[in-house]
Structure 1
Amino acid sequence: MTTGQGLTAAQVAAAKPNHVPKRSSRSLAAIVRANFCTLFNLVIGVLWLLILIFGEWQDSVFGLIMLANVLVGVVQELRAKRTLDRLAVVSQSPVTVRRDGREQEIAPDRVVLGDLVLLSPGDNLLVDGEVVESAGLEVDESLLTGEADPVLKRPGDRVLSGSFAVAGTGAFTATAVGTDAYAVRLAEEAARFHLSHSELRDGIKKFIRYVTWLVIPIGALLMYSQLRHSVDFGTAITGAVAGIVTMIPEGLVLMTSIAFAIGVVRLGRRRCLVQELPAIEGLARVDVLCLDKTGTLTAGGMELDQILPLRDGEPVGDALAALAAADPRPNATARAILERHPAAPWRARAAVPFSSARKWSGADFGPHGVWVLGAPDVLLSDGEEGYTRAAGLSATGARVLALCRTDKLPESGTPEVEPVALVTLKQRIRPDARETLRYFDKQGVTVKVISGDSPAAVSAIAVDLGIPGGERAVDARTLPDDPDELAETLDANTVFGRVTPQQKRLFVGALQARGHTVAMTGDGVNDVLALKDADLGIAMGAGSPATKAVAQVVLLDNTFATLPHVVGEGRRVLANIERVSGLFLTKTFFAIVLALTTGVAGMMFPFTPRHSTLVNALTIGIPALFLALAPTLERAKPGFVPRVLRFAVPAGVFCALAVLAAYAAAATGSLEQDRTSAVLALFLTTWWVLVLVARPLTRGRIVLVAAMAGLFALALAIPAVRELFTLEPGGVRADLIAVGVSVAAAAALSAVLKATGTLRT
């Protein structure tokens, strides 16, 4: 067997396969541990046991709610896991190998040690190997080494997994597979359930950390106070547990996980693969969207339109057919030429493959001459024959190429050429592009079109789509090298042509340096570096494996119209999590103030766990679930932690003051009646907090807050429910006092929030 034939079936069966430990998403055990094994659940579990031993069963309902919350969180994350895993398999790109002399596409995990793996532009290298065939094969190793320039690979050279082919074709023998390969980083990380940096998650972790340090000493003080001033041990334990449980925002982390998980499932239904969960947060923060024209604004594939000779008597058709056939894995341009000219009469002696950096390709056909095909404004000089004509054609939106003769193919740089003909190709604008661009304009997201095509061609497409500033296309070859000057030019313009892959990366960095959150879309290898550096990389499902490997979001159906749903889902998650964070932390600060006051004053805690369970369910638990999943178009803003604290701290303080005032003023002589007055004040004030959080009050939100008030009224009206929650109204006087102090606290809170600019409109 020769090297070029690849392995035989028997050798494949005996060879080591490319098995890599599955890391596509968290396992069931990991999901259960993450939702169940938390510090707060441990604290609540201990308190639950204390109530079961020393208190009454009605006061232990909070423990059942904790278990229900954990179950809901596990179920939602399992749904997200299934969605991620299913879409990850769909988006997985096959590997082309040669076995028994035949080419075949196989799944990445079916590659074996010794396989002959074939490469074409855009292919990921998923295993390590040694090059055995090279036809101008160039490999980008920037994701491994940081060096941006592609490396020309010759037979005998080593190649590593994590790099990708950008030009030419070739083949290599797999020398390390599975866990022996060089990390197999890109393809494995692509579908991983990844909890990377997230301002939202980091902010919630800060809340949890601060509350944990507060709960321990305040809980100890409250426990000591209740045991010291109560004649009944069970009553003391019940009061202390009520204060400690209320301090814990146990549902906040759960609600965040549910919102993220449901976001993944919703986007999955639209055939959108979210490869990193925090990408959902990034979706909401995007204010600049960089679009690559080809494959994003225009549909994939092209059609050969016109061949315009610049010289008579030249074999233009034969030259085009031969150049297209010289590439064993033709790109879209070559395929369009081959559809019109399928016969290739000449055989190439040497060839230079097309690359985004060169913007031309060529081949030496011996007695038929050396021919080059590429961008007119790269191959031709201003004033040269065909240059002006090509510029006029580009201005109509056509893609124009120049077919030229030359003496020899250069090893680097651009050859000296004689123009022979101009070739135009048609590009189809995506039917959904206009509507999608209008959406981003309304949402305040600035669109930047950056393309490797000529500025005139890109400008024509942009004008046709109604992109603001589309008529002023900038030639990227004239852009300054200084980062500040580059950023100013980017801010002032919208459309850029002749952008190199390295410049796309610089564009993203310059925009980020100006404080922008940048999303980048693309489908070709020339977009990989920019996709990797962008705050949010969005790849098309039909794009190269390299782009899908580094992107956080993959549009599997290649539908540009999916992007508004993607951004909308991110905004829904972030805006709503901020809402429910205000609810949960209001409860926490309210409980801290109340626990400190009762602990220092040595008074009985104003309510029991069953009371807090009822009020928390109606003003936090149930509403938070609906609010977290409600639609919204609010753009996310930085400063999540201080913004939530500015709302929750005063809200918690006023709720605590209302409860203390109602409890102290009731003075009925019955602990149950005094506590009922406190519960009434607690519900009314926290219900008002719910109203403030739900603003602006849409019809659905009005129904929600009204329903919660109605359920509480039913709890007071139905004897069996009153008995279950030990609610004993203390008469008209006590009830009026509770209502009065609640109204006063609500008015004062609204005034404070309005004065500080925190009140929602």
Structure 2
Amino acid sequence: MTQRAKIDTDVSEAEAVGPPVVHRPAGLTSAEVAERVARGEVNDVPVRSSRSTTDIVRANVFTRFNAIIGVLWVIMLFVAPIQDSLFGFVIIANTGIGIVQELRAKKTLDGLAVIGEAKPTVRRDGVAAELSTSEIVLGDLIELGPGDKVVVDGEVAEADSLEIDESLLTGEADPVVKKPGDRMMSGSFVVAGGGAFTATKVGREAYAAQLAEEASRFTLVHSELRTGISTILKYVTWMMIPTAIGLVISQLVVKDDNFKDAVARTVGGIVPMIPEGLVLLTSVAFAIGVVRLGRKQCLVQELPAIEGLARVDVVCLDKTGTLTEGGMDVTELRPLNGSDETYVRKVLGALGESDPRPNASLQAIIDAYPDTVEWRCTEALPFSSARKYSGAAFSEGNGENSRWLLGAPDVLLPTGDPTLTEIDHLNEQGLRVLLLARTANELDSPEVATGAHPTALVVLEQRLRPDAADTLAYFADQNVDTKVISGDNAVSVGAVAGKLDMPGAANTVDARTLPADREEMAKVLDENAVFGRVTPQQKRDMVAALQSHGHTVAMTGDGVNDVLALKDADIGVSMGSGSEATRAVAQIVLLNNSFATLPSVVAEGRRVIGNITRVATLFLTKTVYSVLLAVLVVCSQVEYPFLPRHLTLLSTLTIGVPAFFLALAPNKERAKPHFVRRVMRYAIPGGVIAAAATFTTYLLARHHYSGEGALEAETSAATLTLFLVSMWVLAIVARPYTWWRLTLVATMGGAFVLVLVVPWLQDFFALKLVGTTLPWAAVAIAAAGGLLLEVAWKWVDRRFPA
């Protein structure tokens, strides 16, 4: 739908050859603005808000498991030596690390948000200036152009062929023509034309303000990873409660003559059931990811986007602004049908002057052919991605009137026109071609292009991004398919992709030939890589078609025609210089406008997901064997074999320290779905084998040792077995080996040996191997457990593939 823009006809004949007289509202005065600010009539909704410092501290300190461990820690401080309370100090350190890392992430996000904040143009005292959204007051006059987002509710004051897309609010895809007096809703955006509106509702009263505020909050939720961990913790809690109660009763009965030792061993059985470090490491991994990406000028508006990009297997690219730089250069002007080149240059100059908000193509024409005539523009038809052309009508000052169209030749010309053959040759060279055509029809007529007379071809050269080829090569190497989806001519787009050595660049498709059926469209998309003449609605349909075939789709773009597709894609990526609307709906904004930053985001996501999946196996194996050991102790009515100090030592050496390094290491493996299933299929057999091996050693030790100090000897033997099996789990999780991973495993093993051989460490941790028979038996049982682990995990890989 288009709106015919009529210029004021109450102009004298003397003025008819000059610029039209336009009486624009001046907007609020400075005094009126000050008065409204004093009354609190300001747009006080923040553009983007990270969690407050108080929220971060509260979220890290006041957790369910911190409460449980805190109570147990206080108890241990009263009933046992300080070494049995070490687990409490570890939790304090972990919580502190989590808070510090999230505060770093908050600082990074807040700083980038200021850089990326949209600044609407507000007219005050007759002067237009860019202001932050928080400076807008009730009654302000806000100017609009293509791609601008409507930031507050209002009423149209000026309209120059103004077309608004309200699909993000109403679901209706067709643009709505707005006239003076019409209502404007925040959250909509301009697709064509321009104008201005008066703010009638600001702050939290605006239609989309609350929605926008919530959508842009700093959050670590709503991701498969976080949801999966929450699910695991829920089941751990329900499993832990009855087991812990049984253990408490059992130890009080068994140790009826030593209450303090019974309490210490009960706590020693409960504490390792809690995978407290898993939540911490997940938060730290995400927070560090934000900081790393922030250093590369990448604003992550929703943290799960880091995770989402790690799962992406198809990236849809908009050519302009992604593979090519925004600017263009006119390389040639070819008059057609005997047209006079001097006159054509005048027409192009006038067309450039008629559009106050030129796109990249028109800006190149303005630079090449500045307006040198004083023709009066009497009608204007702004460019639309759906139409693929713009237009204007002029009174040329000599009594002659003319109407002109400028846009895609294959849209303006009928199929089979001989001019198209000439254009195809240019497109095959990767050049962009616009057709200047004269029409006798009214510009607001649906048939405006019918019978248009070709006048000239404008040949434009696009500037390739120097880093685009390397980025495309990266995605190809990572088995991520790339699809170029552009509104330009398919042949031209394919030629540009070919220059960048993009895989499948030769397979080009004109989107006008795409089937409407989603299943059929998905097949075409799977088989081809370059698509031209794509409408905004088709971009959206193509994303949906790819998703219907199980693909995780990322969409990049910078223009208003990309908004719908960006919103529907699994991950939307906008350029920082893109339209306000695209930045608003995208989860990731590349503030440096560099497509080359995207591999860093993908790599960061893969690092987070792959490594958290890896280390989660360590934490949950410990939870499984801790619960099973407690159950076995309760059923056997024996003393729990470990004090808290023993399991603190084991957890630190086999899980805590290694997990921290493994969680932050590079990881290029594409993230896979079903996080909980993938982790538990290893953790359950690992935990069962560790518990069985450890309890077997403990029972053998109880029969082998007797007399004073027997329990310490039994505990030492059981600890040795559990340590060796846990180290075997760590060695499997650390694969594939690199020098630093081997060093890490060896260092942890060496630290345990040091505890066993240094006298004061033996006393501190109450570990002393007695004799040679049981210690070597413990090693043999651990070795058998390790071999069983290898067999079990290989069987799991075959039986339950990821």
Q: By the TM > 0.5 criterion, same fold?
A: yes
Alignment of 1:477-488 (within 5 A): 477-488=512-523
User: How many residue pairs align between the two structures?
Assistant: 760
How do 1:323-722 residues align onto structure 2 when only pairs under 5 Å count?
A: 323-345=351-373, 346-366=375-395, 367-407=400-440, 408-412=442-446, 414-416=448-450, 417-666=452-701, 667-669=704-706, 670-722=710-762
Q: Which moved more, 1:138-147 or 1:306-315?
A: 306-315
- Deviation at 1:729? 1.6
Question: Per-residue CA shift, 1:417-447, capped at 9, x if unaligned?
Answer: 1111011111011111111111111110000
Mapped contact 1:374–1:403 kept (Cα < 8 A): yes
CA distance in 2, matches of 1:737, 1:61: 30
The residue identity in structure 2 corresponding to 1:624 is: A
Aligned to 2:384, the other structure's residue is in SS state: coil
Q: Partner of 2:86 in structure 1?
A: 61
Instruction: Give the alignment's TM-score, normalised by structure 2.
Output: 0.93
Partner of 1:738: 778
- Pair 592,414 (structure 1): closer, same or farther in 2 beyond 3 Å: farther
**Aligned mate of 1:92, from 108, 114, 117:** 117
Q: How far has the Cα of 1:411 moved from its partner? A: 3.6
Deviates more, 1:25-34 or 1:413-422: 413-422
C-alpha displacement at 1:214, in angstroms?
0.8
Query: Contact (CA 8 Å) 2:154, 2:183: kept in 1 or not?
Result: yes
**Contact residue 252 and residue 581 of structure 1 kept, 8 A:** yes
Distance 1:413 1:218, change over 3 A: farther
Counterpart CA distance in 1 for 2:772 and 2:599 is 54
What root-mean-square deviation, in Å, do the aligned CA atoms of Structure 1 and Structure 2 show?
Answer: 1.6
**Could you say which residue in structure 2 is the equivalent of 1:171?**
196
Letter in 2 for 1:336: A
**1:728 Cα deviation after fit:** 2.0
Structure 2, gaps ≥5 residues long: 1-22
Match of 1:200 in 2: 225
| CA displacement at 1:189 relative to structure 2 | 5.4
Cα displacement (A) at 1:23:
5.2
Per-residue CA deviation, residues 468-518 of structure 1 (Å, 9 max, x unaligned), is 221221010111111111111111111000000000000000000100000
Deviations 1:293-321 (A, max 9, x none): 00000011111121100033442111111
Give yes or no for contact 1:161–1:185 (8 Å, CA) kept in 2: no
Give the whole-Å Cα distance in 2 for the aligned partners of 1:22 and 1:429. Answer: 33
Q: 2:32 aligns with which of 2, 5, 11?
A: 11
Contact 2:391 2:405 in 1 (8 A): yes
Q: Is the Cα–Cα contact under 8 Å of residues 593 and 653 in structure 1 kept in the other structure?
A: yes
Structure 1 unaligned spans of 5+ = none
What is the distance in 1 between the residues matched to 2:514 and 2:427? 20
* CA displacement 1:353-402 (0-9 Å, x = unmatched): 00101111111113330111110000011232522222221221111111
My pick for the range that moved more, 497-506 or 460-469, is 460-469
Corresponding residue SS for 2:454: strand
Equivalent of 1:312 in 338, 341, 348:
338
CA contact (8 A) 1:475 1:496 kept: yes
1:330 alignment partner, SS class: coil
Secondary structure at the aligned position of 2:463 is classed as coil
Once structures 1 and 2 are overlaid, which stretch shifts more, 304-313 or 622-631?
Answer: 304-313
Of 733, 750, 760, 2:790 maps to 750
Asked if structure 2 preserves the Cα contact closer than 8 Å seen for 1:352 and 1:409, the reply is yes
Q: 2-side partners of 1:401 and 1:451: how far apart? A: 15
Does residue 1:277 correspond to 2:275, yes or no? no
Measure the CA separation in 1 of the matches of 2:474 and 2:214.
31
Please give the per-residue CA displacement for 1:712-731, whole angstroms capped at 9, x wherever unaligned: 11111222211111112212
- Aligned mates of 2:761, 2:190 — CA distance in 1: 69
Q: Give the alignment's TM-score, normalised by structure 1.
A: 0.98
Q: Is the 8 A contact 1:126 1:187 kept in 2?
A: no
DSSP-derived class of the 2:658 partner: helix
C-alpha separation in 1, matches of 2:62 and 2:208: 31
Is contact 1:132-1:171 (8 Å) kept?
yes
Structure 1 stretch displaced more, 23-32 or 158-167:
23-32
Select 1:241's aligned residue among 267, 271, 276.
267
Pair 3,294 (structure 1): closer, same or farther in 2 beyond 3 Å: closer
Q: State the alpha-carbon separation in 2 of the partners of residues 618 and 359 from structure 1.
A: 64
Question: Which residue of the partner structure matches residue 7 of structure 2?
Answer: none
Task: Work out whether residues 194 and 275 of structure 1, in 8 Å CA contact, stay in contact via their aligned partners in 2.
Answer: no
Percent of residue pairs identical: 56
Separation (CA, whole Å) in 1 of partners of 2:307 and 2:762 = 43
